[in-house]
Amino acid sequence: MSDAIKHECGISVIRLLKPLEYYKEKYGSAFYGVNKMYLMMEKQHNRGQDGAGFASIKLDMAPGERYISRQRSIAQQPIQDIFAQINSRINQTLLEHPEYADDVALQKRHVPYVGELLLGHVRYGTFGKNSVESVHPFLRQNNWMHRNLIVAGNFNMTNVFKLFDKLVELGQHPKEKADTITVMEKIGHFLDDAVAKVYKKLKKEGFSKFEASPQIAERLNIAKILKKASKDWDGGYAMAGLLGHGDSFVLRDPSGIRPAYYYKDDEVVVIASERPVIQTVFNAKFEDVHELDPGHAMIIKKSGATSIEKIQEPHERKACSFERIYFSRGSDAEIYQERKELGRLLMPEVLKHIQHDTQNTVFSYIPNTAETSFYGMVEAAQAELDKQKADEILERRNELDKEGLKEILSKKLRTEKIAIKDVKLRTFITEDSSRDDLVAHVYDVTYGVVKESDNLVIIDDSIVRGTTLKKSIIKMLSRLNPKKIVVVSSAPQIRYPDCYGIDMAKLQDFIAFRAAIDLLKEQNKEDIIDQVYQKCLSQVDFEDTEVVNYVKKIYEPFTDEQVSDKIAELLKDETTKPEVSVIYQKVADLHKACPKNLGDWYFTGDYPTAGGNRVVNRAFINYVEGNLKRAY
């Protein structure tokens, strides 16, 4: 993606089902779980590089012995930093106590981080905060083992202020309004309540306080706690939690917006944000890694018993399509084919723009995640070239000799690596002109492969803001002096904010929105802007379920092609000599390519939860009023 956007997060949960001695004997180390968690987090580093966190729980520890360990980092390479610190602590302890080396029981009692239950998280700071206190996992501490709660997630709640107010109504005093804190305290409230009720019942049955502890762990109904806690949540989430005594869970939102996959064998239960991560780290087959159903939770009891429980009634499935276009690793078997299909489906429109002249066209991509879509586009282009060659052979069949046939068959598709992302250049000079000059050189180009008579077709995952395209890529490509530059987006036009985890919050950031506003002004339809503003204002005090997305009316007067043409104008400046055109994926074709992930609210404005319409209207109000605050 040429426009860097911060997005998503990645979660990993590992529950070892055997005693630690088993892993020492079979794999040579009681640190098997820690090593696997390192790999899980590294394999998901694409999902977050602002911060990372790790937590572990040791089961069945005696009072006075530490059973929870946590490490978080916002270092430049946070995953490596965390595990460097973990390894340092472990190695130092073993150095001071060589008697622990081959004694797993002593390791468990005295060496930190060695536990049966582990949680990992990688994060992007979507709200601009990136202090270590903002990094997951979050810990809610208590002297009662069962009331200790560790939470990490890939999520965003649209109604965090409403949830905060409900906590206050319950008598709590949360320390801040961050959605992670709010969610954790909501779960914690019902956890406290459940523990108290179970204990009260056990007391009536004659159990002492000491005897009650293991019974509480056994009888605690995690599904019931999650049902109560998540009842009013509005957002996209894959939420992971560990309880001090050893229960754990991962809960997915009812629309399936945020992803979660799981795998289980007789040694481990594993849950992660991406399937190929589990496949790679645990050498699991594709068919053995399952998607957690929307609205459901995988619950792992301290005993190791696992179950999948329905927590909230599933809604229409609206899994995030951006996962397939860009965020998730393309090594997933399904995602790889879907991305190729996205490229292939764009080819008919590309052919129109180059007038079917594949001989005088160079095809390329903007590195590096657009590469798979590029392969699909090239396969479709090759099919077109093969058709052209077949047609020419048939047309000239009566006079065609061996040399002529050889000439036709020698025609090849021209594919080149044109755009090359350079090292990260630091814009250390504050003057705008100097910064722009540095930004312009973020990408370099390959010289000598494009002729002045050529079309240059270059595919990107998506075009969000268009900033890098305008200030860097288009400028660099125009130096090659092609006849025409065709920029192709494997995603449709991004028109609306996301409020479920991706950092796309302000309407004015989107080049499609700016294009539509410009078109309204050019066509003397500016009154539509004020009409939409007034309609948005009129709904400010409505319940979320009653709010309508009126921002759609900004785009209604125009076809997709008109908006795309205006975007092409916005991407050019006076230094750009070649003709520039822009092609976006059609929403219908996106759904053909990614039939299981139909979440498309950033393209269509059709939000999967009620809070989404409130967010988009607030974003428009902010735009009109010149307010740079986020809409949620």
Residues 6+ apart with CB under 8 A from 123: 9, 48, 50, 51, 52, 53, 135, 136
Q: Which two tokens stand for residue 471?
A: 């200030």
Same structural domain, 224 and 353 = no
Task: Kindly state whether residue 323 falls inside one of the protein's structural domains.
Answer: no
The yes-or-no verdict on residue 601 having pLDDT over 90 is yes
The answer, yes or no, to whether residue 303 has pLDDT greater than 90, is: yes
For residue 170, the model assigns a pLDDT of 67
The per-residue pLDDT for 396 is: 93
In a domain, 5, yes or no: no
Scan for tokens 């000491």, then name that residue. 210
Q: Is residue 128, in this structure, part of any structural domain at all? A: yes
Give the pLDDT score at 426. Answer: 47
Q: How confident is the model at residue 172 (pLDDT cuts 50, 70, 90)?
A: low
Mean pLDDT of the chain: 91
> 421 and 299, same structural domain?
no
Are residues 308 and 357 located together in one domain of the fold?
no
CATH of the domain at 270: 3.60.20.10
pLDDT band, very low/low/confident/very high, at 428 (cuts 50, 70, 90): very low
Rounded to an integer, the average pLDDT of 395-416 is 92
Residue 63 lies in a domain: yes
DSSP string, 30-66: TTHHHHHHHHHHHTTGGG--SEEEEEEE-SSPPTTS-
Q: Which of 317, 346, 373 is the last residue of a domain?
A: 317
Share of the chain above pLDDT 90, in %: 79
Q: Do residues 134 and 37 both lie within one domain?
A: yes
600: domain range?
330-625
Residues 340 and 308 in one domain: no
Distance in angstroms (rounded) separating the CA atoms of residues 159 and 290: 30
Q: Are residues 198 and 346 in the same domain?
A: no
Q: Are residues 500 and 542 in the same domain?
A: yes
How much is the pLDDT for 429? 44
Number of domains in the chain: 2
Mind listing the pLDDT tens digit for each residue in 309-326? Answer: 999 999 999 999 999 998
Classify residue 324: in a domain, yes or no.
no
User: Which one is predicted more confidently, 334 or 129?
Assistant: 334
Average pLDDT estimate for 160-173: 70
In a domain, 369, yes or no: yes
Say yes or no: 144 and 77 in one domain. yes
Identify the pLDDT of residue 5: 58
The whole-number pLDDT of residue 431 equals: 47
* CATH code, domain with 376: 3.40.50.2020
pLDDT in tens, 119-159: 999 987 655 456 888 899 999 999 889 999 999 999 888 88
pLDDT of 6: 55
Give 365's contacts (C-beta < 8 A, 6+ positions apart).
371, 373, 374, 419, 458, 459, 460
* Tens digit of each residue's pLDDT (9 = 90 or more) over 4-59: 555 569 999 999 999 999 999 999 999 999 999 999 999 999 898 889 999 999 99
- Asked if residue 69 belongs to a domain, the reply is yes
pLDDT at 287: 97
Residues 235 and 353 in one domain: no
- Which of 286, 317, 348 represents a domain boundary (last residue)? 317
> Is the omega angle on the peptide bond into residue 259 within 30 degrees of 0, that is, cis?
no
Examine the domain organization and report whether 343 and 246 are in the same domain.
no
Give residue-wise pLDDT tens across range 84-105: 999 999 999 999 999 999 999 9
Q: Is there a domain that residue 233 lies in?
A: yes
Distance, CA of 176 to CA of 258 (rounded, Å): 24
Q: How far apart are CA 235 and CA 158, in angstroms?
A: 6
Q: Is the pLDDT confidence value at 221 over 70?
A: yes
User: pLDDT digits over 183-214, tens only?
Assistant: 898 999 999 999 999 999 999 999 998 899 89
Query: Cβ distance 446 to 417 under 8 Å?
Result: yes
> Domain boundary at 289, 317, 345, which?
317
Return the biggest CA–CA distance within the chain: 103
Contact partners, residue 193, CB within 8 Å, separation at least 6: none
Same domain, 334 and 307: no
For residues 264 and 378, membership in a common domain is answered with no
